[in-house]
Structure 1
């Protein structure tokens, strides 16, 4: 699956981009019709420790799923977003099987 990663207000290193790619590739185990995904990494200028925002938009035929997580690190945000997307994709697949 093609993962487009954009980082806002900072430069993401290759290690982080590879981690996100690998984590989102696992979504194809749950739903094999994923077209692409767009990932936006943002850093807020606040004194709060949870200032990193991970936003993912996964395009599937006929719809797109959007998840936004705010965490201490982008890796944690990627894990939380991927698990949330897994639940949504499994739910979508169950609905399609019912019809």
Structure 2
């Protein structure tokens, strides 16, 4: 799976990019036909608190799975997103089996 990461209005450091690649790479164990993952990282500046928004789009044959989460750190957001995407991939895989 190819992972494309885009950071909006800031530069993501190498450690964060490696963390994202490692976490999303684990999704291959649930569904091995993932084409690519596109990650958007944004800073939300609402008042005193700066929240981090992460959105991941995973392309699978015939569909796109999307998860978005806001947290205090990008790492926490990516952790939550991978949990959501695991469930989506399992459901997608079950739907694929039913159609065969």
TM-score (norm 1): 0.95
Moved over 2 A (4+): 47-50
Where is the strand percentage greater, Structure 1 or Structure 2? 2
- 1:17 and 2:17 equivalent? yes
Matched ranges for 1:46-65 at <5 A? 46-47=46-47, 49=49, 51-65=51-65
Give the root-mean-square deviation of aligned CA atoms. Answer: 1.1
Q: How far is 1:7 from its partner?
A: 0.2
Number of residue pairs the alignment of both structures matches: 99
Is there any run of 5+ residues in structure 1 with no aligned partner, and where? none
Partners of 1:11 and 1:91 in 2: how far apart? 34
Shift of 1:49: 3.5
Deviation larger for 84-93 or 48-57? 48-57
